[in-house]
Amino acid sequence: MSAIANIAKIPELRRRILFTLGMLAVYRVGIFVTTPGVNRNVLKQVMQSQSGGFLGMFNLFSGGALEQMSIFALNIMPYVSASIILSLMTVVVKPLEELRKEGEAGQRKINQYTRYGTVLLSIVQGMGIAFWLEGLNGDTSSGLGAAFGDVVAEPGWGFRFMTVLSLTTGTAFLMWLGEQITERGIGNGISLIIFAGIVANLPDALVLTFQQVRMGQIQPTGLLIIAFIAVLVTAVICFFERAQRRIPINYAKRMIGRKQFGGQQSHLPLRVNMAGVIPPIFTSSLLMFPMTLANLGIPGMSTINNWLSPVGPNQWIYLTVFAVMTIFFCFFYTSVTFQPVDVAENLKKQSAVIPQVRPGKATADYIDRVLTRITVAGAIYIAVVCTVPTLLQSAYSVPFYLGGTSLMIVVGVALDTAQQIESHLITRHYEGLTGSKGPRIRGRRA
């Protein structure tokens, strides 16, 4: 409670938190703005009948916007996909690699290319959703059209154009919203938007779970097992997200005038999970892409989409691909965001050395070797956390929102945001959320 009271004492932090909450409120209000020409009630019934597959996953990350056919139905996923593509291209394409090395100016250009890619992907995915919605009209193969009625009142190119325009505009607005939260609010805006969508649907998932218990679909023993696994997974996530490998560093003594500087000892913290929640988000976004291509009628995509179903007999294929891709993105994202060569060069400039390791290339190789080892542990941890609860969900018919990926994102984003709030508090000499205290000044707290 004292930490919460301290937040109110810092005007800048209070302003940032209120701004973040306000932007997330705007996002949640926009969820209920429906795309023109769609019968929302019929689509909601269709979504409830197919909640276990990729549609349920898509609806999860969109915060329920897909079943409302909101202008935010694509959510921020096109931006995530564009970021993946640009990150891969910075390794392969020489001009983009040079841009990345230019620092802040180059990063601004890469961000601009990411925005262009987001708009392009939104157009493609929006067209795929438009064809999918029209295909639900009179869908005799699954009986959806006969059972629920027509989803689209007036199919045709007019509806397709309006759908693409609405969804692309909604995604562009969310992209801007996320950037504003990152710059003027607290936490990572893109991750917080996904976080808000998942959290908003958790109460409904819990209510549905207890209804299944009352109806006998889930036994009380099974519910206790589910609760125990959820608490255990949350504890594991908290442990690994805070776990660090601290490399000791010694600063050389220097004489400047008559004063001696340096000679201190410190450490270089390397997080076990350096990539955070980005790998499962990247993987989920890419695994949704075949569904979009299948809706556009591209040959072979429907077969691939059926193979990668998160439920049913092909679930093991989906889980295997998900785990492998998650491990890959853990290594890839870490290698892109953390450069041991640059770290070694900075240590050399600061006259800092790692004990028993020579400066320069030897230091870079040592940091890279340590980083690779801890990334192996972090990648395995993410793959297990995101796949094992999915098997539990399948065995006990748990609502999709309680899957491992959603827990990973919710806990990871919450810890990251809390850490940023604590940094603001400690920097201004207040007690943080975990009880950590800022430095004392002249023997007393400022």
109-154 per-position pLDDT tens digit: 888 999 999 999 999 888 888 888 887 775 544 444 445 567 787 8
For residue 236, what is the domain's CATH number? 1.10.3370.10
Give the model confidence (pLDDT) of 275-329 as tens digits.
Answer: 888 888 788 778 777 776 776 667 777 777 777 766 666 677 888 888 899 999 8
Is residue 133 situated within a structural domain?
yes
Average pLDDT of the residues of the chain: 79
Residue type for 324, please? V
Identify the band that residue 258 occupies on the pLDDT scale cut at 50, 70 and 90. low
**Residue 208, Cβ neighbours under 10 Å: how many?**
17
Is residue 176 situated within a structural domain?
yes
Which residues constitute the domain of residue 148?
A: 2-427
Q: Quick one: pLDDT at residue 433?
A: 59
Is residue 445 situated within a structural domain?
no
Query: For residue 79, what are its two tokens?
Result: 């931006």
Q: How far apart are CA 197 and CA 289, in angstroms?
A: 20
Q: Quick one: pLDDT at residue 445?
A: 38
Is residue 432 situated within a structural domain?
no
- Candidates 224, 280, 269, 263; CA nearest to 246 is 269
Residue 380 CB-density burial (10 A; 0-12 exposed, 13-18 middle, 19+ buried): middle
Is residue 65 situated within a structural domain?
yes
Q: Where are the alpha helices (DSSP H) in 218-360?
A: 220-242, 278-295, 301-307, 315-337, 340-349
- Element (H or E) spanning 151, and its range? none
Beta bridge partners of 70: 34
* CB 354 within 8 Å of CB 363: yes
3-class secondary structure, 254 = strand
Q: In the predicted model, what is the mean pLDDT of residues 231-244?
A: 87
Q: How far apart are CA 230 and CA 303, in angstroms?
A: 33
**Count of residues making up the chain:** 446
Is residue 437 situated within a structural domain?
no
Q: Quick one: pLDDT at residue 327?
A: 92
Q: How many CA atoms are closer than 13 Å to the CA of 425, on its beta-carbon side?
A: 23
Beta bridge partners of 270: 245
* CB 38 within 8 Å of CB 69: yes
Is residue 434 situated within a structural domain?
no
Output the pTM of the full model.
Answer: 0.77
Q: How many domains does the chain have?
A: 1
Is residue 441 situated within a structural domain?
no
